[in-house]
Structure 1
Amino acid sequence: MEKAVITGMGVVSPIGNDLAELESNLFAGRHGIVPIDHFDTSDVAVRVHAPVTDLDPAAHFTGPQLRRLDGYSRFGLIAARQAVRDSGLLDSIDPYRLGVFMSNSGLGGVGTVLGESETMREQGPRRVSPALIPKWTANILAGLVAIEAGARGPAVSHTAACAASSVSVGEGLRAIRHGYADAVICGGGEASSHKLVMAGFQNLRALTASEDPDRASIPFDRERAGFVIGEGGAALVLESESRARSRGATIYAEVSGYGTTSDASHITAPAEDGEPIDRAIADALAEAGEKDETVYVNAHGTGTVKNDQVEAASIGRMFGDRALVSSTKSMTGHMLGAAGAAEAIAAVLSIRRGAAPPTAGTAEIDEDMKIDVVRGRARTAELSRAVSLSLGFGGHNVCLVVDRAEG
């Protein structure tokens, strides 16, 4: 059975618009959270977000292309382009053996919908753009990446809320392991920093009302009060190990395990006992093979009271004192459908760097959390394995295991 290795990575995020910039800021503990300045916040409690900055869309797309792309597709496409270029695989692969699993949380082109709704209200239905539907749909990113890459294998978008792009990476592993593809471009994109979305999350009591960017996203902190909306895109190229080695590709790491379960409990809150999270972790570890050594865990770590409590308990049960834990959402905010892929990249970088990134802003850990949360600065450690956890509304639980590549 084939191993699935990572031969390319790309990212557009609040803390970096390429891999090098992301890595530099991630391990320095620099966050990308800033005050909201693109809409009036006088009637909402939300004051901060984590936007993509210093990215000129016109440098990546023509005018006609921009008019046909929602923000989430732009971010996802740029990240996928980076990953594909990094991998160097397009010149030698059968297009029918190349898949694309690029996902969105399910909100799709929400900015497009809001804009065209306003157009219809003010100017009537005839003025609504014919690009509305393709810009809106949550699956279109997979199609767009497939078109650009010439990929004629499976092109699928997984809708699993905030775990969506983690599912895409896991299903990419399965496609390669079971022989359905030789390589898969996996990841996601999100651009949901809009007032309507924030109002909805706020009324679910999921977003922080903090006005201090340095203390807004503080996962596992005793003063945590919700997450910060982020945006961006992230992509990884997964490839069969035999193919990658035969063409002399750079191999960043191996995706060795994938577990996914459902809480079957509540539409927004995690199951109180955390058992489905335990099972997702156990299934991923069983697939990857057990290792009795220090593991870096990139937690889902949203900064909501209940998520962090349940997740920390699960990490403690499954890893004991072997886990170094951090939440990179403390720096990127919650990138929703792009979060899982971005955090899988962070897991890869941690192994290669031999360090766990900090949970920026987090100070005092809630006293009932018996896990080792990395705070203040990155912590050097001998790491050959990292685990990335993603949880989503609807009860989706996903665990990815990433191992240092052999040889």
Structure 2
Amino acid sequence: MRDAVFNQTERGTFQVWRGVLAGASASLIGIGLARFAYTPLLPAIIGAHWFPASTAAYLGAANLGGYLVGALSAGPMAKRARAATILRAMMLMATVAFVACAFPVSFLWFFAWRFLSGISGGALMVLAAPTIIAHVAPSRRGFASGAIFTGIGLGIAASGTIVPLLLRQGLTQTWLGLAAVSLVLSIVAWNGWPSQDAPAAASAEQHRHAKAPPPPALRALFVEYALNAVGLVPHMIFLVDFVARGLGKGVDAGAQYWVLYGLGAIAGPLLTGHLADRAGFGAALRVAFLLQLIAVALPAVSSNVAWLSVSSVLVGAFTPGIVPLVLGRVNELLAHHPAAQKGAWRTATTGFAVLQALAAYGLSFLFSESGGNYEMLFAIGAGALAVALAVDLFAALRSK
């Protein structure tokens, strides 16, 4: 019975679930905490006069820049060392970065450690899930990958709940508290990784497939995932400010919508993974694009409390929930060429990181130039998702 659920390449079912836990811990550290926990810390950093507002924002960009470097360097690192060794090192580097950020020695010091935390996040995103999923039966990969990326959602939820509680003890104590959580998660994950990497393709034919240009459907998926990053940015950056200042409801009301966003983010990966196991990754991805399009467009057309709540929960759910769908679709499209799967996932992650960073800066510029037009930002995000859906439908029709 167990063989029908998981591939018994390691130590049985128990080992696979320990691997899923390790992957979830990695995503929680590298993305959930290292990136999203910084959002509520930024006002405190400015308020404590660690850095002026004019330069503190660049510290957030440092993590995004490091994330891109980490995504690009994960492949070369994996060629020189076992995946488990790299994953352990990246989790420890993120932990050390939290400790270093507890002491504002200088702007350059802080920027460097935020950059290194971004590198760890990028490498963990590229390597953690594929390392585990390679040992999971295809029929359960949606749920397993969803469980792994639940760590991102937990980090988003923590950014609106646990971090404010830690801040009551002080800014330095908050960074050290995050370091302690990261260290515990690293210990939990330490022996959860597979003892050996999945077998690499050995034949000349398989190597040719690994080096061959990606099929049209895969190239379309890269574009769709990058456009999805653009669609998520308005909520990630402007949701709380839109409610607090744009609608005049105040900071407390804005924080309530961020909690809804975080609750959606916890459940999102598991729900999308379950949907993929039932309907297939291609169909689930189209449903995701459509629901995101509607959810991101809602704040542009309505300020109704109920609709804003729905929008917050749905976009929160798909912020981490889109990740297992794209990973599963990559593996689905390259099912007969497993040697190419990790490289394709790295390409998809890199494209997502680039468009996310460009959209963050670009929408911030447009917001400033437009005199604070929030509706325009959500409309642009919805437009990007509409294009992503159109590209996916066109690619599907073309492949028939």
What TM-score does the superposition give when structure 2 sets the normalisation length?
0.29
Name the one with the larger strand percent: 1
What TM-score does the superposition give when structure 1 sets the normalisation length?
0.29
